[in-house]
Amino acid sequence: MTDVVIVGGGPVGLYLAALLLQEGVKVRVLEQRLRREQHSRAIGIHPPALSALAKVGVASSMVRAGVPILGGTALSRGRTVGSMSFATVSGRFPFVLSLPQFTTESLLERRVHDLDASALTRGARVSGVTDDGGLVTVAVAAPEEAGGGSITGRLLVAADGARSSVRSMLNVPVNTKTYPDHYVMGDFAADGNHEQQAVLYLEAEGIVESFPLPGGLRRWVVRTERPALNMDAGALSRLVQDRTGVRPDPATNTMVSAFSPRSSVACRLVEGRAVLVGDAAHEISPIGGQGMNLGWLDAAELATIICAALAGRPVGSDLHDYVSRRRKTARRARWQAGVNMSLGRPVALPLMGLRNLAFGTVAGFPSANRLMARRFTMQ
Alpha-carbon span 310 to 106, nearest angstrom: 28
Alpha-carbon span 175 to 267, nearest angstrom: 7
Domains of the chain: 2-43+100-178+263-341 (3.50.50.60), 182-261+343-376 (3.30.70.2450)
Partners of 189 in the β-ladder? 217
Q: Specify the pLDDT at position 289.
A: 87
CA angle (30, 31, 34) in 5-degree steps: 135
Helix axis angle, 11-22 relative to 101-115, nearest 10°? 30
Partners of 75 in the β-ladder? 80, 201
- In order along its 379 residues, the chain shows pLDDT tens digits of 999 999 999 999 999 999 999 999 999 999 999 988 877 889 999 999 999 999 999 999 999 999 999 999 999 999 999 999 999 999 999 999 999 999 999 999 999 999 999 999 999 999 999 999 999 999 998 655 555 689 999 999 999 999 999 999 999 999 999 999 999 999 999 999 999 999 999 999 999 999 999 999 999 999 999 998 889 999 999 999 999 999 999 999 999 999 999 999 999 999 999 999 999 999 999 998 899 999 999 999 999 999 999 999 999 999 999 999 999 999 999 999 999 999 899 998 888 888 888 888 888 888 988 988 898 898 8
Neighbours of 90 (CB within 10 A): 18
Q: Do 86 and 92 meet the contact criterion of CB atoms below 8 Å apart?
A: no
CA angle (319, 324, 325) in 5-degree steps: 95
Q: How many CA atoms lie within 13 A of 126 on its CB side?
A: 30
Alpha-carbon span 62 to 96, nearest angstrom: 12
- The answer for 297, left when phi > 0, alpha when psi is -120 to 50, beta otherwise, is alpha
Q: Do 262 and 341 meet the contact criterion of CB atoms below 8 Å apart?
A: no
Sign of CA dihedral 147, 148, 149, 153: positive
Where helices occur in 32-124 by DSSP H, the ranges are 47-53, 59-65, 101-115
Helix axis angle, 291-310 relative to 316-343, nearest 10°? 180
Query: What does pTM read for this prediction?
Result: 0.95
Neighbours of 142 (CB within 10 A): 18
